[in-house]
Amino acid sequence: MIIKDKVMKYLQDFGRSLMLPIALLAAVGILFGFTAALSRPQIKEILPFLNGGGVAYGLFLIRTMSIKVFGLIPVLFAISISLGLAKREKEIAALAGFVCYYILMWSAGYMVASDYITFPPSALGNSLGLGGIPEMGAVGGMIAGMLTASIHNKYYNIELPVAIAFFGGKRFVAIAVIIAGAILGQIIPFIWLPVSNAIQVVGIEIASLGLFGTFLYGFLERLLIPTGLHHIINGIFRTTAVGGELNGTVGVWNIFFEYFGKVDINELKKYTRFLAQGKIPYMVFGLPAAALAMYKTAPESKKKGIEALLIAGVLASMTTGITEPLEFTFLFIAPVLFLFHSVMAGISFLLMDLLNVGIGNTQGGLIDLFVYGTLVPGSNWIYPVVVGLAYSVIYFFAFKYYFLTKGITIDGGVDDTVVVSKNKAANADGKLATIIEGLGGNNNIVSVDNCFTRLRLEVKDSNSLDVPLLKSTGAVGVNVISDTQVQIIYGPKVNIIASGIKEYLGH
């Protein structure tokens, strides 16, 4: 495998490994926002029963629990990255990732407390009960996760001499990460101090770009969707000082949930410009209008086949902010439209910043609009709706014009030239067998994983794929990243498909 493929595979796996904690935090964010909104005096005046002891206690409990979960971001990243990057024995890697993070931070704190380095108090924080440690946020978890995965993949099956054979194999991993974490923890303070200063400078520079910085973030976040690398840029802005800093709390995500409900929303708008508000116009309005245009321009013979596909994509985009099922319907047949879509995303972020909107969380669907917009005084939630209505018109006519002038249309994931046997189509195992056949057979599949909407695979030869056959199984699109890296878009049901393939192959 050439270096380029190795780098791309690592970045793909790294981005995918962030999915589990991100999904958890997004869900917890909705709970937090809903309970925080219901606890506001204005809402309690409308709904007096919220003042009741039991109800008020329940709301407080859920809100407090949510905040605690956000405090676990570093260790969640350590565990998920260890698990995601591990090739085998993933559960062992996950446990080792937790141990590595704790030891790494403890060791770093021990060095900071010594006389060997002068660490400013403002650069210190706490995590998992450890105080006086370098304030690394999610980066500390990422480092621990990558270190653990590297050690795990190299030593999980190591054989030791007979006298100490008990400590070989996967048991050796836990021992190795303790030693490696302790050593790296002694070094990290010397590296992190200048790095953290540099990150703060980057954050200040991005903030100084004003509206252009907001546009650039929205544009790149959407443009990177096909590669899956958008998770990395999101993670950097949401959980590190690149996104900003407020009273020692770094990252726009952390800042928003730490201070939402405690301070006026206007004080948080310089941070929410990188959150859900910029997504609402194109997720709730723009993409559904694009779907309507794609349906209207399709030949009558194909409309029935694409109707269910588009409806499912529209519902996912509008409610939860999951856009890939729609985006991948036109990404490969009309890449110019995807570039247009990315530019419009950047403009959407810019306009929400310009109009002084303050809507947090990360998904960008109707749920975020309601919980963090309409229920929050001063959020200016009406502007995403107004801009969104304009976006629906622009998207509809842009997509309609392009599809008609270029004479292209999407399909419903079924190619008429492909014949799938009735026995295969009759049951789940048959569908899995068809997918595996479309991937070039058992021997061509190296590894299988998934994110929210995509089946992510490492194969021996991407040229062995049968794309029409894969589309006959309901795939929205097939994205060949390199000779060995492939993504197949199935939508939210992909986790079931991925689990089925792993079980079918005995992975």
The Cα 455–Cα 483 span in angstroms is 16
**Homologous superfamily of the 422-505 domain (CATH):** Glucose permease domain IIB (3.30.1360.60)
**Spans of the chain, pLDDT less than 70:** 1-4, 8, 23, 26, 33, 40-42, 122, 199-200, 202-204, 207, 226-229, 232, 320, 411-429, 507
Those residues with Cβ within 8 angstroms of residue 238's Cβ, 6 or more apart along the chain or in another chain: 251, 252, 253, 254, 274, 275, 362
Task: Indicate the SS3 state at residue 381.
Answer: coil
Write out the two tokens for 461.
């030869």
Task: Indicate the SS3 state at residue 183.
Answer: helix
Helices (H), 321-427: 324-330, 335-354, 366-369, 382-406, 422-425
CB 183 within 8 A of CB 319: no
Cβ burial, residue 332 (10 Å; 0-12/13-18/19+) = middle
Q: Give the number of other Cβ atoms within 10 Å of residue 20's Cβ.
A: 17
Q: Give the number of other Cβ atoms within 10 Å of residue 284's Cβ.
A: 24
Cα-based angle 12, 71, 113 (whole degrees, multiple of 5): 100
Eight-state DSSP code of residue 115: S
The Cα 294–Cα 408 span in angstroms is 9
N-terminal to C-terminal alpha carbon distance within the chain: 22
Write out the two tokens for 145.
């996760």
The Cα 65–Cα 77 span in angstroms is 19
pTM of the model: 0.63
The Cα 213–Cα 233 span in angstroms is 13
Cβ burial, residue 32 (10 Å; 0-12/13-18/19+) = buried
pLDDT of residue 78: 93
The Cα 368–Cα 277 span in angstroms is 8
pLDDT tens sequence across 442-495: 889 988 888 777 888 888 888 889 888 888 888 877 888 878 888 888 877 788
As beta bridge partners, residue 84 has none
As beta bridge partners, residue 447 has 458
pLDDT of residue 2: 66
HSE value, Cβ hemisphere, 13 Å, CA-based, for 298: 21
pLDDT of residue 401: 94
Catalytic residue numbers? 451
Q: What does DSSP say about strands 477-480 and 454-459: parallel, antiparallel, or unpaired?
A: unpaired
Where exactly does CATH 3.30.1360.60 map onto the chain? 422-505
pLDDT of residue 426: 42
